[in-house]
Chains A and B, each alone.
Chain A
Amino acid sequence: AQRVTQPEKLLSVFKGAPVELKCNYSYSGSPELFWYVQYSRQRLQLLLRHISRESIKGFTADLNKGETSFHLKKPFAQEEDSAMYYCALIGGSNYKLTFGKGTLLTVNP
């Protein structure tokens, strides 16, 4: 079975502060990990996937297989980063995307 855990339902930081959204996964093989973001009143959209190893909007995420984690980080949060963030996983040979419960990030001015 595949499972994604996001331990923080809510995360509040001030503008300019570093932010880290935690994600841990459970899967016996080699998964593909994603971060999706949902801005207010918008559809979900892909933010990052681990195989790309790129930085999007200043966010990065590193897959740590030893700790089975895929935490999302940004050194200096901006107000426009306020959104719901979902960590997601695809395991095995199927296409099923399993989501965590999400973390609502609020960046205060």
Chain B
Amino acid sequence: NAGVTQTPKFQVLKTGQSMTLQCAQDMNHEYMSWYRQDPGMGLRLIHYSVGAGITDQGEVPNGYNVSRSTTEDFPLRLLSAAPSQTSVYFCASSSDRAEAFFGQGTRLTVV
């Protein structure tokens, strides 16, 4: 079982560039979410989805878009990267308020 897989692990972007962070899970979980982890700030929820075709905003959604066309995939798009988006991004999936499984993280630097 692969669990939750995120790609890439590392990325450097120039200000204004766009990119997509990929997240896939093979556990048939209905709930998926994206967090960013910043020093002293903990994990903050960016966007989440309760099933295919359904997404909603979390605590810090500005500058990010998501879509959920399948149960397995939940990509996170940065349309125009800014230095403030330098962070470590984690994708997670869970089922029925149970344990959340996390990906290994994507370390993004925007210069």
Contact = CB atoms under 8 A, between A and B. Distances in A.
Contact of A98 (B41, B45, B94, B103): B45
A95 B105 contact: no
B99 A49 contact: yes
Given A95-B48, A95-B97, A97-B92, A43 B104 contact: yes
Contacts of B40: 9, 101
Nearest to A6: B42
A25 interface: no
Contacts, number: 51
Interface string A37-56: 00000111110010000000
B42 A96 contact: no
Given A9-B40, A101-B41, A43 B102 contact: yes
Interface residues of B, number: 23
B42 A46 contact: no
Contact of A86 (B43, B45, B50): B43
A70 interface: no
Contacts of A9: 40
A43 B42 contact: no
